[in-house]
Amino acid sequence: MEREGFSARLIAWQEQHGRHDLPWQNTQDPYRIWVSEIMLQQTQVQAVIPFYQRFMARFPDITELALAPVDEIMAHWSGLGYYARARNLHKTAQTVVLQGLNQLPTDPIALEKLPGIGRSTAAAIAVFSSGRRAAILDGNVKRVLARHFAIPGFPGTKAVETTLWSLAESLLPNSKMESYTQGLMDLGATLCTRSSPRCERCPLHNTCAALRQDRVDHYPEPRPSKPRVERHAKAWLIRRGKEEILLEQRPARGIWGGLWCLPEAVPEYLQSQVQKGGEPILIEHNFTHFRLFLTVEPVKWNHPEASQDHILHEPGMPHQRWFTLEEALSAGLPAPLRTLLKGLERG
């Protein structure tokens, strides 16, 4: 009876108190739902909204996305982080269009076969686009279920995750899947939050095991702590005159994959013709598993002979190109580099 009441109370709460006016709601378009679900992975709703609106204005359907240059997609994603998500969006769009389709599938099994779409994301797309009966299990949902049913252990472990998936499947209602699924998302995002949960307003508080035990803060158990690794690297801020800067495109895989960054070394053809351009700049940036300390060495190169569109793209070498500051700020850049270049623009 407790499990039957879980879904009914959640649906009733969502329909009255949940979120109903987010930019990706009130549609059954699987493309728009898919883009929003990918953007929302490990990213807060308020941070996603402006990126989503700009992205959809430029890439309104899956065909537009498939045909767009990957550089332009990365530029529209710049600042949102976890850049593999953008590359996988492009790969999926191309896969679907090459299959002769003009829309994303809505079957969760078919969706899971596409790049960057896991089990929970596939279920969310299927639920919101076609009302399919499928369970989701993102970070917010794991927290709600772990607290309500007092599930011990860190949800990132295989055993605990298996338990939570089984529980999520068993709680599915027979109708109103959209309201139920959105309710789980809304509850975890607005009331059953990681810190300072508002249990008194929760529609499930009467049956919450963690609340009954007075141990809400103990569920779910946190990731076992590890010392944060520090990494140190060096890059070169190479300027030609006041307006141009040399950038190189990073490999598709790895840190800032596919983005335009400062070169990690002065190219050979410039080495004898550069001069110190200022004091080193230290950039600190947090990644999920480490903290990066990047020392940027400013240098000047005023040689007049290289053309404006000089491009270095030799086999096995990074793709390097001169940009004006305006062009660079329109390219796909990591957030800390964008901040650095905006400072140059103002200066």
Per residue of the chain (347 residues), what is the pLDDT tens digit?
Answer: 456 689 999 999 999 999 999 999 999 999 999 999 999 998 899 999 999 999 999 999 999 999 999 889 998 998 888 888 999 999 999 999 999 888 999 999 999 999 999 999 999 999 999 999 999 999 999 999 999 999 999 999 999 999 999 999 999 999 999 999 999 999 999 999 999 999 999 999 999 999 999 999 999 998 887 777 889 999 989 988 778 889 988 887 778 888 889 998 887 777 777 888 788 899 988 887 788 899 999 988 876 554 444 444 444 456 888 888 888 888 888 888 888 888 876 65
Q: Which of 199, 266, 268 lies closest to 235 in space, CA to CA?
A: 266
Q: Which of 318, 201, 218, 209 lies closest to 258 in space, CA to CA?
A: 318
The structural domains of the chain, ordered by start, are 2-218 (1.10.340.30), 229-346 (3.90.79.10)
Q: Counting every residue, how long is the chain?
A: 347
Identified catalytic residue from 37, 178, 248, 297: 37
Q: Let me know if 72 is a catalytic residue.
A: no
The residues near 200 (Cβ < 8 Å, ≥ 6 apart) are none
Residue type, 160: V
pTM of the model: 0.81
What is the SS3 assignment for 222?
coil
